[in-house]
Copies of this chain bind each other. A is one copy, B any other.
Amino acid sequence: MSLSGPSVSAGPADPLVWDSVRDRLHDRGLRWTPQRRVLVAVLAETRGHVTGAELVERCRERDPATIPSTVYRTLDVLEDLGIVRHGHGPDGREEYHVLPDAIHGHLHCKACGSTWELEATDVTALVRALDDEHGFEVDLSHVTIVGRCRRCRD
């Protein structure tokens, strides 16, 4: 079991993934629009976590005319394509992960607010148990465990 330090996920984004987005959309009969180009450009230079609101903000830097609903709808599409994945922070707010980052969940202390990444190996037992006994397939990226860290328990 290993927990990486306070929320600093790295992992170089594969440029080929971004080049293929247009084709992946076309293959499904979907379109490659200016608004989508902006969001994909933003995602291409994003590592680790981003909230939906942050992505909207970053898109606005490139195109001030950016409309939130368009960004959120495009994120839904990209999630379908398996290019991003979202979870929810301890407050329920959206948190996006840009793939092919290693998929992980989060551990959050509600007392001090610290966050740690929860790797696949940390939850192996739970994932296997749910699968074996109920056929349930866990989406690790959507897992946020809230509680209290050692320091805050005194």
Contacts and interface: CB of A to CB of B under 8 A. Distances in A.
A124 to B, nearest CB: 9
Contact of A150 (B92, B135, B149): B135
Interface stretch (A11-19, A28-36, A42-50, A140-148): A140-148
Copies in the complex: 2
26 contacts: A88-B88, A88-B92, A90-B142, A92-B93, A107-B130, A107-B134, A107-B136, A109-B136, A110-B142, A122-B130, A125-B126, A126-B145, A130-B145, A134-B149, A134-B150, A135-B149, A135-B153, A137-B148, A137-B153, A138-B145, A138-B147, A139-B145, A139-B146, A139-B147, A139-B148, A142-B145
